[in-house]
Each structure stands twice: as structure tokens, then as C-alpha cells.
Structure 1
Amino acid sequence: MIKVLFDHQTFSLQRYGGISRYFANVYHTIQKQDDIQAKISALYTNNYYLKDFNGLLSNNPVGKLIFKERVRGYLWNRAYSKRVIDKNDFDIFHPTYYHTYFLERLKKPFVLTVHDMIHEIMPEYFPNDDKSSFEKRQCIEKASHIIAISENTKRDLQNIFQIPDEKITVIHHGFTPSQESDETGAETDISKGNYLLFVGDRSFYKNFYRFAIAAAAFLQKRKNFKLICAGGGPFQHAEIEHLLKLKIMDRVTQITATERELDLLYQNTSAFIFPSIYEGFGLPILEAFKQKAPIIMSDIACFREIAGDASLYFNPFDPEDILAKIEHLVDDKALKDDLIKKGSQQILNFTMEKCANKTIDVYRNLL
């Protein structure tokens, strides 16, 4: 029996998010296996993807009180993770992010998943006191094996750190729909009418400002359309000023969507636009494929790797090209239907079973 230990990090930091969803999916799939078991070293988590997690302080009023304040909860979970690591009752350790607290005490091999190299490639987007690159480098150098979530991430990783091929395995994310979202549902008020859809964080390399310029030009021509931004938190002052300057503030809506609401937004949108200038993978692509949303996205290597010919692509640095591609897709029903059909086929390459089985193979090969 192989025993795998996942630590607390992403489950202490994220309520929702691609990284915690990835690790939760792998964890749940392992639990169904006969010859391997997994444990998460956390006392408590409110992570959406671990609803049934049975930590020592789960379903406990004391736990809820302690973990109401996120920093305090993070420190409690880290202290507990240290104790579990010190007991050494596992075969493989798989940290869920890059903090180095475990390096000096770990006696077993560990696998590190590298999601992207954005901090290293675009350091100008991050504060000077950001420790992410420093801690990530230490983890990469000491890892027994590395999982890269795309060929693009592997190339970036090797270009920066010269990691040999035999130490890296590329394992694409597997997609598991939320339990709330398997059925096509009726429209909600927010998903009624004609709209463009933007999903997730809007800062830095997500390229929201250039996209907003293109969206404004589109909305000025199409008075019956609006723009919906799902996730990413409420608009900040700089974003509001940008949208006011573009004269579209009254036609843009931000929603902190539930999984179900997000699925409905994908299902009913005229176009989902993904304008990032860099990504390690791009899980929203698979979400859009699943919900049969037509996609327009940046012409970057990672997106080409994941979406293939199931998307329309634009130059992310050129708002005029973004606008042209939006208009092309919205006006061409045959193109839209073709992309949706291709997306339904493309998502079959990204099953959770394939992701989990390849991950388990990495564990077995290490042992």
C-alpha cells in the first residue's frame, strides 16, 4: 500500500481556485484506488472542493472560530503539517504549493507540481518582496520528481532551471465537473440576453485592460450586448476608472459566481474571451468546452496546446485584433457551432482519470 501525504497549503489559502481543485481531484481519485491511499495534513479547511473533508477540527465550532481568521488558520494548519511530516508515516510527500517549511524535516521523497513560471518570466508584475520565486526555486532544486501541467510549462521550467527530462513528467489537468453542474439549466437573470464573458482574476498578465478596450469598441457598436466578469472580486478603483473612461461602466457586471451560476454563464454566452498573455494551463478552457461555450483566446503556446483548433485566436497585445475576432465569432453561427463541436471532442483528452493515473505512476516509479 502506497501512502501519499498532501499538505495544507492550497487548502488553507483557497476557497475556490484551479490549484486547490487540481489537488482535490487527484486526492478524491486516489481514495477510490485499492493499493494507494492519500491524506491531507490539515486540521480544517473551507475549500469548496473538499466538502466532505474530515479534519480533526472539521465540523467543530472551535475549529470554525480558529479558522475564521485566515492567517491564524494557515499557521495552525502549517504547525499540524509539521507534526504529521515528523511522524514519517507516509511514502510520498506532495506539497500543494511552494512554501519551504517542510524541506529541513522531510525524510521521504517528494513530488512537486509546477503550475507555471509566471513569477520568473514576468517578475515586473509582482512586488519586490514577493518570495514566490525564491521558495519555488528551492523546492524545484530539492524535489525528487517534478510534474509540469503542460509542455509549455516544462519548456519554461527547463529554460530557467535546466532540469533534465528524466526528472519531469508532463501531466495535463483532468477535468471534473462540479456536482452542481452536470445538467443544462434554465437561464438566471444574470445570464439572460446577449453578453461577452470574462472569467477569473483581472490583474497583471490576465490582460483585462487591453481586452476592455476591445470590448468597449464592440459594445459601442452592439447596443444589445453587455460584458459579464465572473470572479476576480469586485472592481477596484483603477478598473472602475478605466471602464468609466471607456464609457461602458453601466454595461459591465461583476459577479462572484457559484459553480452553478458560472456554468450557466458559459452555457448562454455569445463568446467566452480568455485574453491572458501567459498561463501555465488555463482550466477555464475546459470549463467552457464542457458547457459548450464558443471560445476566443490569446494566441500563446499554452492555449494552442490545450485548445487546438477548438478556439479562435487573437494577438493579446492588439485590441483591434481582439475586437475583430469577437465580431467574427459573434456574426458567424457556423463558425460558432464548429468550435463548440470541436471543443466537445477536445475535452475528452483531459479526463481526471488520465491525470490521476499518470500522477500515481509518478509515485510508483519513485518508490
Structure 2
Amino acid sequence: MIKIAYDYQVFSWAKYGGISRYIYEIATQIANTPSFEVKIFAGFYVNKYLDNCAPNLVKGWQIPLIPKSAKLVGAIDAELSKIWLHQDTPDIVHETYYSRNRIAPKRSKTVVTVYDMLHEKFGHTMKKKDRDFSVIKANSIKRADHIICISENTKKDLLELLDIEPKKISTIHLGYFLQNDLFKDDNRPIEDPYILYVGERKLEYKNFKRLIQAYATRPSLKDNFKLVCFGSRPFSTTETAMIDNFGINHSQIIYVSGEDKILANFYTHASVFVYPSLYEGFGLPLLEAMSFRCPVVCSNTSSIPEVVADAGEYFNPYEVDSISDALERVLFSTERTRELIDRGKERVKYFSWDKCAKQTQLVYKSLL
């Protein structure tokens, strides 16, 4: 029996989110595999995905999310996990994020997943505390016995930026969360045709400003389609001023948030899904959009072409006209729209949590 442990980190501060969902998915799938014994040492945690785990899979106690408590809770969880792990002595400890210090017993092999090299490539656009995080991250990666990268592009960036032996790295693509067969709603969320954007907008690498400019400067887009922005926070005063400066009526650009079934409905009825990011370690919304038969219009940078392959209409995210042109090529061509939907339907078959979990098991076995 191979004993696998996952640490507390991502579960102590994230109620929801891509990283905690990834760990939850692989942990629960591997736990159902003969010859593996799995435990999530969560400590005091806020994460909601763990509600769905079998009681014997999680060691810890769920607590409410208390503002400004993450640092204290994390410190307590680190000590708890260290005690528990030394009592349990697992064969493999999979660190769920980048830790300052090793908490695994000496006899345990350690694995860490690298989600992107964003801080290293875009540190100049971030606050000092975010830039300093790169040092902790590098130490965590270098001391690991094995590293999982979620895309070949992330692996390439890692090898360029840190002195790591290539043989210590495996690439394992993610699965995806929202799937068309789980959410079916024939009722349109809004009556007008719309372009859908999903996720964070504030960070510079998300490239939201150029998307707004591309939308605003083409009457064919602005006059015929709303722009729906799903998720993150409501528009800030800075974003509102930017929208005003580009001459966009506030009825044309809509902020929406909500649970998975609401997002699923917006994917289902969108004219296109647009993804203007300058850099991504993977890009889960791309798979979600394709799963819901939504044509994808996206950047030609970083890991995005690796995920989308021939199922997207690409643009140069640094050029506003390139974004506008790509949107027009799809929005005003029934043939191209149908082609992208069909290709997306085939492309998502390549990605699944079952596949991700099985490849992760092979990594664990290779270390023993």
C-alpha cells in the first residue's frame, strides 16, 4: 500500500478555486484506486470542496473564513501538519502550494505542482510582497523530489528561469470542472447577443484594458453585442473610468458573478468566449467554454495554444486591432463559428481528471 499525503496549504485560505479543486480531484480519484492510501492533512480549513470527501480522507476541522486570519491559521496548520505527518510517515507528501519550510518527514518523498511562472515573468507589474514570494517558490521547487508542471509551456518557463534537472519534471495536464452534460439550461441569461469574458480583470497580464479598447473601437462589436464580464469583483472606479473614457455605455458592459450553474448558462448562450491573457500556466476557462459548445477567441501566447490547439481563433494580445479582427472573424461567420464549436467538442476529450489522476499515480510510483 502506497501512502500519499496532501498538505494543508491551499485548503487553509481558499474556499473555492482552481488549485484546491485540482488537489481535491486527484486526491479523491487516487483514494479510490487499489494499492493507494490517501489522506488530506487539512488542519483548520475553510475550503468547501472538502465537504464532498469521505470522512476518512480528510484530517482537520472546517472553520469560517475570518478576515486577516490566514497567516495565523496557516502557521497553526503548518505545525499541526508537521506533527501528523511525522506520526503517519507517508511515502509521498504532495505539497499543495509553495512552502517556506519542509514539513514532510525525512523518509517521505516530496512532490510539488508548479502552476505557472507568473511571478517570475511578470514580477515587475506586481507588489513587492508578490515579487518576494518568488524566493519561497524557488526554494520549494528546488527541494522537491519531483515536480509536476500543468503544461509544457510552464515546464519550458521553469527550465529557463530556475536551475532544475529536466528529469525531475513531469507535465500533466489538468481536467476541467464545468461540463456541458452536468448543466443544461435553455433559458438565455440575457436577451441580447454577448461576448463572454471570465475571471480576474485587475492584474495587468489579464490584458482586460486592451479587450475593452478592442470592443470600444469597433462599432460592429459595440453596436451588436454586449460584453459580459463574469467573476472577480464588481467594476472598480478605475475600470468604470476606463469604460467611460472609451465611450462605452454602461448598459453595454455587464458584470455578473455567481455559482457554477450561472456561469454554465452564460457559457452555453455566449456568441463567443474571449481570452485575451498575456500569460497563463494552463487556462481552465478555455476548456470550460469548449465543453459548453462556445467558440473560443484567444491569445496566441504561453500555454494557450497548447490547450486549445486548432479549436480557437487566435490573436496577438498586444495588438488591439488583432483582438478586434479575431472577434469579427468568428462573430460574423456562421461557418467559422460552427467549425470552432465542432473542434472544441473534440479537443476537450483530451482532458479529464481521470487521466490527470492516473498520470499523477505514475509519478508517485516512480519515486519509490
Measured after TM superposition, the shift of residue 161 of structure 1 is 1.5
CA contact (8 A) 2:235 2:255 kept: yes
**Partner residue in 2 for 1:357:** 358
1:234-249 superposed matches below 5 A: 234-248=234-248, 249=250
Q: 2-side partners of 1:175 and 1:254: how far apart?
A: 24
| TM-score (norm. length: structure 1) | 0.92
CA contact (8 A) 2:311 2:343 kept: yes
Distance 1:333 1:48, change over 3 A: farther
The code of the aligned residue for 2:351 comes to F
**Partner residue in 1 for 2:300:** 299
Q: 1-side partners of 2:163 and 2:366: how far apart?
A: 22
Measured after TM superposition, the shift of residue 257 of structure 1 is 2.3
The code of the aligned residue for 2:300 comes to D
Q: 2-side partners of 1:120 and 1:226: how far apart?
A: 35
**Partner residue in 1 for 2:112:** 112
Distance 1:265 1:132, change over 3 A: same
CA contact (8 A) 2:81 2:103 kept: no
**Partner residue in 2 for 1:314:** 315
**Alignment partner of 1:277: what SS?**
coil
Say whether 1:336 aligns with 2:337.
Answer: yes
Q: 2-side partners of 1:57 and 1:351: how far apart?
A: 28
**Partner residue in 1 for 2:194:** 195
| Matched-pair identity in % | 33
**Partner residue in 1 for 2:66:** 68
Measured after TM superposition, the shift of residue 319 of structure 1 is 0.9
Q: 2-side partners of 1:27 and 1:221: how far apart?
A: 44
Instruction: Report the number of matched residues.
Output: 360
Say whether 1:285 aligns with 2:286.
Answer: yes
Question: For residues 136-161 of structure 1, what are the alpha-carbon distances to aligned partners after superposition, in whole Å with 9 as ceiling and x for unaligned?
Answer: 11011111001111111111111112
Unaligned runs of 5+ in 2: none
Q: 2-side partners of 1:20 and 1:366: how far apart?
A: 24
Measured after TM superposition, the shift of residue 16 of structure 1 is 2.4
Distance 1:37 1:213, change over 3 A: same
Measured after TM superposition, the shift of residue 212 of structure 1 is 0.9
Unaligned runs of 5+ in 1: none
CA contact (8 A) 1:200 1:232 kept: yes
Q: 2-side partners of 1:204 and 1:317: how far apart?
A: 12
Q: 1-side partners of 2:284 and 2:360: how far apart?
A: 18
Q: 1-side partners of 2:296 and 2:221: how far apart?
A: 21
Measured after TM superposition, the shift of residue 17 of structure 1 is 1.8
Say whether 1:96 aligns with 2:91.
Answer: no
Measured after TM superposition, the shift of residue 44 of structure 1 is 4.3
**Partner residue in 1 for 2:156:** 155
Measured after TM superposition, the shift of residue 221 of structure 1 is 5.1
The code of the aligned residue for 2:7 comes to D
Question: For residues 64-84 of structure 1, what are the alpha-carbon distances to aligned partners after superposition, in whole Å with 9 as ceiling and x for unaligned?
Answer: 35x434424444433322222
| Cα RMSD, aligned residues only | 2.1
Q: 2-side partners of 1:57 and 1:19: how far apart?
A: 19
Q: 2-side partners of 1:145 and 1:68: how far apart?
A: 34
Measured after TM superposition, the shift of residue 314 of structure 1 is 0.4
**Alignment partner of 2:326: what SS?**
helix
Measured after TM superposition, the shift of residue 241 of structure 1 is 1.2
Q: Which has the higher mean CA deviation after the structures are superposed, 211-220 or 331-340?
A: 211-220
**Partner residue in 2 for 1:12:** 12
Say whether 1:250 aligns with 2:251.
Answer: yes
